[in-house]
Structure 1
Amino acid sequence: MVHGIMEDLEQEHEGVRWVVMGDDEYSMFFVEDIVDVLAKYDHNKYYYFGDQSEYILSNFWFSFDQGFGGAGFIMNIESCLRRYPFLNSADLITMVSIVDLGVGFTPLKGLRHLDMRGDISGLLSSHSKTPLLSLHHIDSIAPIFPLMDRAKSLRHFMKAAIMKAAKFDQSRLLQQIICHHRLSNWTFSVSWGYSVHIYEKIMPRSHLIKPIQTFKTWIKKPKSPPYYMFNTRPCTNDSCETPHVFFFKTIGKMKNKNEIWTTYFRSEAQGLPSNCSIDGDRPTNYVNKIQVYSPRAKRTEMDRCECCDIIHTSGSNKAKIKLRECFTNEKIA
């Protein structure tokens, strides 16, 4: 990999400012978001961008200060020397060569290596507040849409879901927006272009930004935690803590309005006994479709998440969510 970088950089490429490297396994890059992020940096300076593995032991075994190539890393250095024949990881060799040039590692959280197994819907539904830049190991995890087989899930992912949503608005892709319907005592958590969760109680954003641990460790589970480079929430049988899950289905633009709509349908019944209401009635069970309306304008700043308003009539099988910028002192709790 290091020689490949050197050969590429030694060639003359008019107008090229950055070199982006990724594994030849199943990796996906969201180029528009990458361009927007890199535009904030001076390409005449030395940078080594990447992200760590989500699995804490992978970073321990190799380095906490390297970009893992599956998720991709980005450089604008002029040379990278290979002087470490005893190292057996291309990512690690690249890192130590760059460090020897005096260049530090700059993490970009939107580069997702996905060093985990099983159902990653919990992670994708609580993506960090940063533009999505890449996804790796898509072929090694369980279907992203859990009720579909792998082939159908990948087709839906590529043609109808995230990749189609990306064509409309990459800046909001997987961005988590949380709002409350206090009349019903519900909390909605939107992962734009992927999923919507409804909780049967008011829950603060500080809790919901932690992914539900629907996934498993990359290799055999260590004897004791921590397992990941981020905090997680456990799966639970508490119906107040377990969301009703809806997955992305369709997307379009509103005629005569400066809005994009995305539609999400219920995955399956939650199937847990209610302990969130006194009379045992669960109006959330009636909801099977959610429509989210977002501005067409691309979000250029990520210093703060968006907020939203919910339109829902008790007993209705539909709910509407309208995204907007948060008010100055608005609290999502």
Structure 2
Amino acid sequence: MSSPSYYASILCKYLLIIGVVATFFIVVFFNLTYISSQYVDSNIFTIKCEETGPKETTTNLSHLMFVLVGSSSAWKHRRTYIESWWRPNVTRGNIFMDVEPSEEFRPWSPTFPPFKVNEDLRKLSIYPKLANQVHIRIYRSILETYRLQQDDGVRWYVMGDDDSLFFVDNIVDVLSKYDHTEKRYIGMFSESTKSNFRLAFEMAYGGGGYALSYPLVEALVAKLDECIEKYHFIWAGDKLQSYCLADLGADLIPEKGFHQMDLRGDLSGLLSSHPTAPLLSLHHFDAVAPLFPGMNRHGSVLQIMKAANVDQSRMLQQSICYVRASNWTFSVSWGYSAHVYENIFPRSYLKLPIETFRPWLRGWFPFYMFNTRRVSRNPCEAPHWFFFDSIEQVDGGVVTSYTRKFIRNMTSCSFSCDISADPLASIRVFSPITPKEVSSSHDGEEPPLQEEQIDEVEVPEQQIDDILLIDPHNHEYEDITDDATDEAVEDEFNENDDVSSNDENVDVSD
């Protein structure tokens, strides 16, 4: 039988073990509590620092770097395109050319972007194997821009050609939607099905323009020459670009406002039914007819910029309204055209472009990446065409005028009770001041139409326009009765259907 001293020693050992274990848990517990409290305090301190630090400004025009490309031989007849939208000392960027401009353009005009001559590609070891040396010269302009070290505060690179027409305020609006600290590749594919089939459906076309966020530019330039060597067999520079960006994890984000304009002939049908998206660019002016009847290409570009310099957010945005008394439909593409139909048509029909244009390439059907409606000789389907003529500032807004450039040469439509729109000579559209225009005014005064300066951009809500029909023989305008301005309803359409992009008030003179 064990002695009491034996049990006492066993008890002491157990107590010692329990004490050691308890001490260990106490030490660990208090250390974890201390670390946790320090972590929480650190987080609180960090949050306070973020809240009291300066907030990042909204993206504006100074955050964009334009990388424009062209050739010296084409500059003589293409300079007007860039000059129409470039804002000296405001827009940032350069135009890269193959050789020095001719003496005709010396000294270089301050109304042009600064010019740079591209580096000699022959220094590249892969040069003899390049499938398209011209496209590679153009493509490397991104790298050469980066090496100029002019990127202070730049958030986006915007690429374009010397015959690209950019609507820079709208580009700022659109890019403001995206996080410029992430890798973003924003542009649009071609209007031509065959072009996309031959090249790529998930590729931005450089002529229509595309934007790269600055982090993506930094990642790209580090690998650009290596990527050229890897894909030297690719003929189209834009396709090579899409491959390089895909390898960096950046896929195309489509924006419908970029227009490569892979079309031929008369674009009026397309421009009169633009998608519900901000107009960002137009391209290929040398391959299409002038945008306005009776004007050359350069004059047409200057004409469309008259409206764009006042309010780019409205450009080509379609407004539709109806006049019950005469059974007419009005469709206005702001800043470009107005159509009068002697019949009632819903928006689902009017948003389809009239196929006044031809395919870019011969090939198979379908030709286009969008639906169209054919040109019609039916007086109940064919519109009366009016084209943008002028813009003026009035109290509370602006008025755009659209004039008839040619007669329709058709009988009146029986659905309109034989009330012909032939006597109409012009249409005036009143547009209220947008929030953008209000924010740019100074001391309560509205800014001059051609000198709009935008520091911060807000995307305005769609506005309501008043359409005034002007009879050439009567310049005394009278308000018509309220019931004549109600939205007209055709038998097959429900009265509550939404058939207009904007509600319109229509005044028709006798």
- Bucket of the pairwise TM-score, normalised by the shorter protein: 0.7 to 0.9
Alignment partner of 2:315 out of 140, 150, 173: 173
Q: Which residue of 2 aligns with 1:111?
A: 258
Q: Distance in 1 between matches of 2:373 and 2:478?
A: 27
Give the conservation status (yes or no) of the 8 Å contact 2:208–2:258. yes
Q: Which residue of 2 aligns with 1:155?
A: 299
In structure 2, what residue type is equivalent to 1:48?
Y
Alignment partner of 2:207 out of 43, 67, 70: 70
Q: Which residue of 1 aligns with 2:233?
A: 86
Alignment partner of 1:252 out of 387, 392, 417: 392
Q: Distance in 2 between matches of 1:278 and 1:32?
A: 41
Q: Which has the higher helix share?
A: 2
Residue 66 of structure 1: SS of its match in structure 2? Answer: coil
Please list the CA deviations of residues 251-302 of structure 1 after superposition, one character each: whole Å capped at 9, or x if unmatched.
0100xx21101111012111112333476441x1111110000012157558
Q: Distance in 1 between matches of 2:148 and 2:469?
A: 59
In structure 1, what residue type is equivalent to 2:298?
L
Q: Indicate the larger mover: 50-59 or 265-274.
A: 265-274
Q: Which residue of 1 aligns with 2:383?
A: 243
Q: Which has the higher contact order (CA 8 A, sep 6+)?
A: 1
* Compared CA separation, residues 253 and 64, structure 1 to 2 (3 A): same
Q: Distance in 2 between matches of 1:214 and 1:117?
A: 9
Q: Distance in 2 between matches of 1:316 and 1:195?
A: 22
Q: Which residue of 2 aligns with 1:97?
A: 244
Is 1:268 aligned to 2:406, yes or no? Answer: yes
Alignment partner of 2:153 out of 7, 15, 31: 15
Q: Distance in 2 between matches of 1:308 and 1:201?
A: 21
Counterpart mapping for 1:96-245 below 5 A: 96-146=243-293, 148-150=294-296, 153-158=297-302, 161-220=303-362, 222-223=363-364, 225-245=365-385
Deviation at 1:11, TM superposition (A): 4.5
Deviation at 1:312, TM superposition (A): 5.1
Deviation at 1:10, TM superposition (A): 4.5
Q: Distance in 2 between matches of 1:121 and 1:183?
A: 28
TM-score when normalising by structure 2 = 0.58
In structure 2, what residue type is equivalent to 1:232?
T
Q: Distance in 2 between matches of 1:317 and 1:246?
A: 18
Q: Distance in 1 between matches of 2:418 and 2:325?
A: 17
Deviation at 1:157, TM superposition (A): 3.1
Give the conservation status (yes or no) of the 8 Å contact 1:289–1:317. no
Is 1:59 aligned to 2:226, yes or no? Answer: no
Unaligned runs of 5+ in 1: none
- Structure label with greater radius of gyration: 2
Give the conservation status (yes or no) of the 8 Å contact 1:310–1:320. no
CA RMSD of aligned residues (A): 2.5
In structure 1, what residue type is equivalent to 2:414?
C
* Compared CA separation, residues 245 and 287, structure 1 to 2 (3 A): same
Please list the CA deviations of residues 286-324 of structure 1 after superposition, one character each: whole Å capped at 9, or x if unmatched.
11110000012157558x855545455999767899xxx
Q: Distance in 2 between matches of 1:60 and 1:212?
A: 24
Please list the CA deviations of residues 211-270 of structure 1 after superposition, one character each: whole Å capped at 9, or x if unmatched.
0000001122x24x211000000001111111000001110100xx21101111012111
Deviation at 1:100, TM superposition (A): 0.4
Give the conservation status (yes or no) of the 8 Å contact 2:272–2:318. yes
* Compared CA separation, residues 157 and 7, structure 1 to 2 (3 A): closer
Q: Distance in 2 between matches of 1:115 and 1:23?
A: 14
Q: Which residue of 1 aligns with 2:427?
A: 290
Q: Distance in 2 between matches of 1:20 and 1:278?
A: 49
Q: Distance in 2 between matches of 1:175 and 1:313?
A: 22
Identity across the alignment (%): 43
Counterpart mapping for 1:27-66 below 5 A: 27-66=164-203
Q: Distance in 2 between matches of 1:186 and 1:210?
A: 18
Q: Distance in 2 between matches of 1:199 and 1:320?
A: 22
Q: Which has the higher strand share?
A: 1
Q: Distance in 2 between matches of 1:141 and 1:27?
A: 13
TM-score when normalising by structure 1 = 0.87
* Compared CA separation, residues 11 and 55, structure 1 to 2 (3 A): same
Q: Distance in 1 between matches of 2:409 and 2:273?
A: 22
* Compared CA separation, residues 10 and 44, structure 1 to 2 (3 A): farther
In structure 2, what residue type is equivalent to 1:239?
P
* Compared CA separation, residues 306 and 278, structure 1 to 2 (3 A): closer
Unaligned runs of 5+ in 2: 1-137, 437-457, 480-486, 488-495, 501-510
Q: Distance in 1 between matches of 2:373 and 2:234?
A: 36
Q: Distance in 2 between matches of 1:5 and 1:226?
A: 35
Q: Distance in 2 between matches of 1:75 and 1:206?
A: 34
